[in-house]
Amino acid sequence: MQALVYEGPREVVVQEVPDARIERPTDVLVRVTTANICGSDLHMYEGRTSMETGRVLGHENLGEVIEIGSAVDRITVGDMVCLPFNIACGHCKNCETGFTGFCLTVNPGVAGAAYGYAGMGPFAGGQAELLRVPYGDFNCLRLPDDAREKENDYVMLSDIFPTGWHATELAGLRPGESVVVYGAGPVGQMAAYSALLKGASKVMIVDRQADRLKVAEKIGCIPIDDSQGSAVDQVLDLTAGEGADRGCECVGYQAHDPQGDEHSDAALNSVVRSVRPTGGIGVVGLFLPDDPGNADEAARTGKIPFDMGHFWFKGQTMGTGQANVKAYNRRLRNLIHTGRARPSFIVSHELPLSEGPEGYRHFDARDEGWTKVVLHPGS
Ligand SMILES: NC(=O)c1ccc[n+]([C@@H]2O[C@H](COP(=O)([O-])OP(=O)(O)OC[C@H]3O[C@@H](n4cnc5c(N)ncnc54)[C@H](O)[C@@H]3O)[C@@H](O)[C@H]2O)c1
Ligand SMILES: [Zn+2]
Ligand SMILES: [Zn+2]
């Protein structure tokens, strides 16, 4: 099969690799029709993770079931399914309580597994023609009869729509509250969109990429360009000096200042300063225990200077981590099916798999207008 393979920093190639296949009776085999490039892929692409060369990338996958293992009894050949980026067993202590992002059995020794993802197990990604889905009955979300027509919406259920939603859950957002989202990449857009769907009274979003801010403004957010002045001051101005009720960090450890210099704490500490006393913060931007490529020595082992003083003094709360996609994807699917949600508004480019390397290059450079890249293997 054709697949997009990681060859080293800023080098991915589309090449022939052995076909994905059923390996265990509980597996399902999917012919991938849509696979997205994610901001998480960029950490790997830039060589800022432990990703091994030769591995197939891609954890935002949707496609058609073409074969099932002998122990699969819910999913059938021909189903259109969307796969949570987390691979989970469904029966461990964490899965049982909804924390499928922290499954204890699929990737022994580490809580959590994913397709084509550094440190998350040996599983191949879906930026390929075929994908092996472990525990298919548990991990496949079956899609309704408008699956093909709304493919670019449904594929967002694999990661960024539930992840954005998760950011607002971790922050404790309630209807009528205000929220500030740091990062107007795909994840930040989905956090802002989720906040609007949940009935937030005011959704502010911070970035310095004018094109991304414009996308968010179109759906009803207040754009805050931090290259034009302190984002924290702008948030305080917009909230009568109090700060937003809730804050979402959707940037992660490769946060930088508007001039492009990396400071892993930049967005995180700005959220603390932008949220009101007793407010809640959700951090879905990625942070890693090991980051050998960081210029800062402490940060190489995940130690990021955190503004504990302000955080504590304000009595804020904070939630972090990988999103548990399965906790939300069924309900968010129903919002798409009934026309109440249309997360595809962020898609800027649809490319065949063969043009994946181009997609990576542009998305990684945050080139103007490249807000979300969707690949269609087999097209
Ligand atoms: N927790 C999860 O389950 C989960 C899932 C998906 C992605 N992620 C992570 O979420 C993060 C965002 O993903 P994405 O796809 O939107 O990535 P992205 O790189 O496309 O977007 C990040 C955006 O943040 C902006 N930014 C950088 N520094 C900033 C700062 N100091 N203040 C404000 N904005 C700043 C950039 O200009 C960019 O637009 C990544 O770290 C990704 O790995 C986490
Ligand atoms: Zn992703
Ligand atoms: Zn589990």
pLDDT in tens, 166-225: 999 999 999 999 999 999 999 999 999 999 999 999 999 999 999 999 999 999 999 999
Q: Is 182's C-beta closer than 6 angstroms to any atom of ligand 1?
A: yes
How high is the pLDDT of residue 5?
98
Whose CA is closest to atom 31 on ligand 1?
267
Show the tokens assigned to 308: 């504990």
Task: Please check whether the domain covering 2-159+324-376 is classified as CATH 3.90.180.10.
Answer: yes
For the stretch 229-283, pLDDT in tens is 999 999 999 999 999 999 999 999 999 999 999 999 999 999 999 999 999 999 9
Q: Tokens standing for 338?
A: 């009934």
Answer whether 253 contacts ligand 1 (Cβ < 6 A): no
Please report, rounded to a whole number, the percentage of residues in the chain having pLDDT higher than 90: 98
CA-closest residue to ligand 1 atom 19: 39
Position 119 scores a pLDDT of 94
159 Cα: distance to centroid of ligand 2 (angstroms) = 5
Please tell me if the CB atom of residue 303 comes closer than 6 angstroms to any atom of ligand 1.
no
How far is the centre of ligand 3, averaged over its atoms, from the C-alpha of 113 (Å)? 9
Tell me which of 250, 272, 326 to substitute to probe ligand 1's pocket, judged by most ligand atoms within 8 Å of the beta carbon.
250
Pairwise CA distance, residues 100 & 322, whole Å: 9
Instruction: Find the ligand nearest to 372 CA.
Output: 1
Angle between helices 186-197 and 160-171 (to 10 degrees): 60
Average pLDDT of the segment spanning 75-87: 98
Å from CA of 186 to ligand 2 middle: 9
Query: Could you tell me if the CB of 95 is within 6 A of ligand 1?
Result: no
As a whole number, mean pLDDT of residues 327-331 equals 98
Average model confidence (pLDDT) for the chain?
97
Residue 98 CA: which ligand is closest?
Answer: 3
Fold observed for domain 160-320: Rossmann fold (3.40.50)
Q: What is the mean pLDDT of residues 329-339?
A: 98
Tell me the residue type at 105.
T
From the CA of 95, how far away is ligand 3's center (Å)?
Answer: 4
Residue 379 has a pLDDT of 80
Pairing type for strands 2-8 and 28-37 reads: unpaired
What is the average pLDDT across 304-317? 98
Q: Which residue has the tokens 């901001």?
A: 39
According to DSSP, the β-strands at 130-133 and 28-37 are antiparallel
pTM over 0.95: yes
Beta strand pairing call for 222-225 and 11-16 = unpaired
Strand partners, 216: none
| Ligand 1 binding pocket includes 62 (Cβ within 6 Å) | no
Atom of ligand 1 nearest to the CA of 208: 37
Residue 243 has what pLDDT? Answer: 98
**How far from each other are the two terminal CA atoms of the chain, in whole angstroms?**
13
User: Which tokens belong to 286?
Assistant: 């990625």
| Overall average pLDDT of the 293-310 stretch | 94
Q: How far is the CA of 41 from the centre of ligand 2 (A)?
A: 7
pLDDT digits 0-9 by tens, 151-161: 999 999 999 99
- Break the chain into its structural domains and give their ranges: 2-159+324-376, 160-320
Residue of 32, 318, 342, 30 lying closest to 161 (CA atoms): 342
pLDDT surpassing 90 at residue 360:
yes
Identify the bridge partners of residue 30 per DSSP, sorted by sequence position.
65, 131
Atom of ligand 1 nearest to the CA of 267: 31
Residue 378 pLDDT: 83
